[in-house]
Chains A and B, each alone.
Chain A
């Protein structure tokens, strides 16, 4: 899936488990992404990639693909992540989460925080949660990184109980 900082994901895993109250596991997956590249946009089609992730999820599990590539969906100029609402797969890109993209000094911790929020947000969608309007909740919709920095990496009480209700049949991996 072309993601170089696997060590970061290893550190993130216990946090994801703790936020979701579920078991999680990490595995590497090789996927040739050249077919998903759009030369006009110089970006990768998230809609097509995510379809490849669906078969990876076992019954009741959710799978989230994490990549460094710049993702798009046909109608939007870019996305941070994508998920099938109530589906089994989600996809997150770290490409637009780094400060250096915006001409700012790089901040690895900030990058890690943003990536964690994106992963939790997309997994939330995969478990059927829609956007939340409670300030600070990780399910708040964000379309640029500064906005993402305003929210926490936690689900609000309402989203958490909805998550627990919806996830009672399965676990995330």
Chain B
């Protein structure tokens, strides 16, 4: 029971107000009282009570009208009508006007305790419901997908447009570009968002299991099928079916899939009953399906059935401007998760990241930052916290002096600004190193 709840007792009898408030205060609730509807309304307008107990017979405005007024101020407020046996009919009328429940005076202590506990649970559940809905919204809001490059903004616009429709979508892109995230964004912004997105990682399911995975099976359909089981098609009824790595499914399954996509009817493995399911299909692949069709590896009819709307996620190397935004996002996320003080990516580390080709795309960047936060100590991600070989970064300097400058910086970073060790590694004495630091105005990165 949530004891942070506030209760208002509206009754013209002082003894009732005192007795009830004492009873609820002992339970830890915050309690206020009002002797009539006028006082009650004033208090309700000034403070948001969770539960209001209203006597049906009040001087002036009666409890029924007060209930209606309370509901017009805040529909969520729980109103419990207190009544004598003689006025149960009126209490029922109040229920029709949105009152939560009614209770006959004098109350049985057990009854009043239960009614308040149930009301508290109701309030808690509706708060939880709201916060979960908010969390779901915030999970994959299109606006929350990180990226400022023209190419990614174009993709997000496509996501927005296609989300509202019920069309089949193919998402293409290199491994690690976040195809599943974009699929979720489409689902979460579609009318089907209140149902789950059922995901099938086609590449991770053995071919002989794929049929029962998608179609489900009846009990005894095959050795080991001790129980009937719903397949993904059935589970996705009303929802979105996300077929990841669609290119990996066998030709036989492609035929079956095409048939289901066209009719939305199917039978479980080992069953006779025809089932129907209403689902939207989003699929993803990192391969070029058209060339697979040309090579005879993917059925042309299925390809055209799926290829209603295609979204191509550009690789990270083609949208370098997003690296900074994504890196900062991951720093914030992992620093919070790991309770670290890291707030940003240092200049040299960022330069290295922006020059790295990221064959593993966003996933690789995320892993790099996570690792850097784990091993790093300061308030920034430094170049030495990143694991890749600096040879992979493209140098942007041309003169020997620029090269010398950057080499000294990298050695100083490597030896954590230990001048003696850095000088030894560079093959110069400490005085020379100091003069070079002064010459190039090198400062220790924060």
Do A and B associate with each other?
A: yes
Q: Write out the residue numbers on chain B whose beta carbons fall within 8 Å of the beta carbon of A131.
A: 26-28
Q: Are A76 and B19 CB-contacts (below 8 A) given A133-B1, A144-B110?
A: yes
Q: Write out the residue numbers on chain A whose beta carbons fall within 8 Å of the beta carbon of B415.
A: none
Determine if A84 is an interface residue (Cβ-Cβ < 8 Å). yes
A77 to B110, CA, bound (A): 10
Cβ–Cβ contact B16 & A141, under 8 A: no
A16 to B272, CA, bound (A): 73
A144 to B110, CA, bound (A): 7
Shortest Cβ distance from residue A6 to the other chain B in the assembled complex, whole angstroms: 28
9-residue interface stretch from A67-75, A104-112, A151-159: A67-75
The one of B1, B15, B109 that contacts A74, using a Cβ cutoff of 8 Å? B15
Q: Write out the residue numbers on chain A whose beta carbons fall within 8 Å of the beta carbon of B424.
A: none
Q: Write out the residue numbers on chain A whose beta carbons fall within 8 Å of the beta carbon of B28.
A: 130-131
Q: Write out the residue numbers on chain A whose beta carbons fall within 8 Å of the beta carbon of B27.
A: 130-131, 141
Q: Closest residue to A72 on the B side, CB-wise?
A: B106
Interface code B1-39, partner A: CB below 8 Å = 1, 0 otherwise?
A: 101000000000101101110110111100000000000
In order of increasing CB-CB distance, the 7 nearest A-B pairs are A143-B110, A73-B19, A74-B15, A130-B28, A143-B109, A77-B106, A75-B16
Determine if A114 is an interface residue (Cβ-Cβ < 8 Å). no
Q: Write out the residue numbers on chain A whose beta carbons fall within 8 Å of the beta carbon of B1.
A: 133
A41-55: which residues lie under 8 A (CB-CB) from chain B? 41, 47
Determine if A85 is an interface residue (Cβ-Cβ < 8 Å). yes
Determine if B105 is an interface residue (Cβ-Cβ < 8 Å). yes
Cβ–Cβ contact B107 & A47, under 8 A: no
A144 to B105, CA, bound (A): 18
Q: Write out the residue numbers on chain A whose beta carbons fall within 8 Å of the beta carbon of B15.
A: 47, 73-75
Q: Write out the residue numbers on chain A whose beta carbons fall within 8 Å of the beta carbon of B112.
A: 76
B interface residue count range (under 10 / 10 to 19 / 20 to 34 / 35 or more): 20 to 34
Cβ–Cβ contact B26 & A141, under 8 A: yes
The one of A75, A85, A130, A133 that contacts B105, using a Cβ cutoff of 8 Å? A75
Determine if A62 is an interface residue (Cβ-Cβ < 8 Å). no
Determine if A78 is an interface residue (Cβ-Cβ < 8 Å). yes
Shortest Cβ distance from residue B12 to the other chain A in the assembled complex, whole angstroms: 12
Q: Closest residue to A129 on the B side, CB-wise?
A: B26
Q: Write out the residue numbers on chain A whose beta carbons fall within 8 Å of the beta carbon of B131.
A: none
Determine if A79 is an interface residue (Cβ-Cβ < 8 Å). yes
Q: Write out the residue numbers on chain B whose beta carbons fall within 8 Å of the beta carbon of A84.
A: 22
Determine if B288 is an interface residue (Cβ-Cβ < 8 Å). no
Determine if B108 is an interface residue (Cβ-Cβ < 8 Å). yes
Q: Closest residue to B109 on the A side, CB-wise?
A: A143
Q: Write out the residue numbers on chain A whose beta carbons fall within 8 Å of the beta carbon of B165.
A: none
A118-168: which residues lie under 8 A (CB-CB) from chain B? 125, 130-131, 133, 141, 143-144
Q: Write out the residue numbers on chain A whose beta carbons fall within 8 Å of the beta carbon of B20.
A: 75
Q: Write out the residue numbers on chain A whose beta carbons fall within 8 Å of the beta carbon of B18.
A: 47
Shortest Cβ distance from residue A89 to the other chain B in the assembled complex, whole angstroms: 12
The one of B13, B22, B108 that contacts A85, using a Cβ cutoff of 8 Å? B22
Q: Write out the residue numbers on chain A whose beta carbons fall within 8 Å of the beta carbon of B113.
A: 141, 143
A79 to B22, CA, bound (A): 13
Shortest Cβ distance from residue B103 to the other chain A in the assembled complex, whole angstroms: 10
Chain B binding surface SS class: helix
User: Would you mind naming 30 contact pairs between A and B with Cβ atoms under 8 Å apart?
Assistant: A47-B15, A47-B18, A72-B106, A73-B23, A74-B13, A74-B15, A74-B16, A74-B106, A75-B15, A75-B82, A76-B19, A76-B106, A76-B107, A76-B108, A77-B106, A77-B107, A77-B108, A79-B109, A83-B26, A85-B26, A125-B26, A130-B3, A130-B25, A130-B26, A130-B27, A131-B27, A131-B28, A133-B1, A143-B110, A143-B113
Interface size on A, residues (CB 8 A): 21
* Most interface-central of A78, A85, A133, A143 (chain B CB within 10 A): A143
Q: Closest residue to B20 on the A side, CB-wise?
A: A75
Shortest Cβ distance from residue A156 to the other chain B in the assembled complex, whole angstroms: 15
Q: Closest residue to A87 on the B side, CB-wise?
A: B22
Q: Write out the residue numbers on chain A whose beta carbons fall within 8 Å of the beta carbon of B110.
A: 143-144
A77 to B13, CA, bound (A): 16
A17 to B421, CA, bound (A): 73
Q: Write out the residue numbers on chain B whose beta carbons fall within 8 Å of the beta carbon of A47.
A: 15, 18-19
A84 to B13, CA, bound (A): 19
Q: Closest residue to B113 on the A side, CB-wise?
A: A143
A159 to B278, CA, bound (A): 56
B272-304: which residues lie under 8 A (CB-CB) from chain A? none
A83 to B23, CA, bound (A): 9
Q: Are A75 and B26 CB-contacts (below 8 A) given A47-B15, A47-B19, A141-B113?
A: no
The one of A78, A125, A130, A133 that contacts B109, using a Cβ cutoff of 8 Å? A78
A130 to B4, CA, bound (A): 13
Q: Closest residue to B107 on the A side, CB-wise?
A: A76
Q: Closest residue to B28 on the A side, CB-wise?
A: A130
Q: Write out the residue numbers on chain A whose beta carbons fall within 8 Å of the beta carbon of B108.
A: 76-78, 143
A143 to B28, CA, bound (A): 16
Cβ–Cβ contact A74 & B26, under 8 A: no
Shortest Cβ distance from residue B18 to the other chain A in the assembled complex, whole angstroms: 7
Please name 8 further chain A to chain B contacts, defined as beta carbons within 8 Å, in addition to the given A75-B106, A76-B107, A79-B109, sorted by A numbering: A75-B105, A75-B107, A76-B23, A78-B108, A84-B22, A125-B26, A131-B28, A143-B109
Q: Write out the residue numbers on chain A whose beta carbons fall within 8 Å of the beta carbon of B25.
A: 85, 130
Q: Write out the residue numbers on chain B whose beta carbons fall within 8 Å of the beta carbon of A83.
A: 26
Q: Closest residue to A131 on the B side, CB-wise?
A: B27
A79 to B109, CA, bound (A): 7
Q: Write out the residue numbers on chain B whose beta carbons fall within 8 Å of the beta carbon of A41.
A: 106
Q: Closest residue to A84 on the B side, CB-wise?
A: B22
Q: Write out the residue numbers on chain B whose beta carbons fall within 8 Å of the beta carbon of A77.
A: 106-109
The one of A74, A85, A125, A130 that contacts B19, using a Cβ cutoff of 8 Å? A74
A81-117: which residues lie under 8 A (CB-CB) from chain B? 82-85
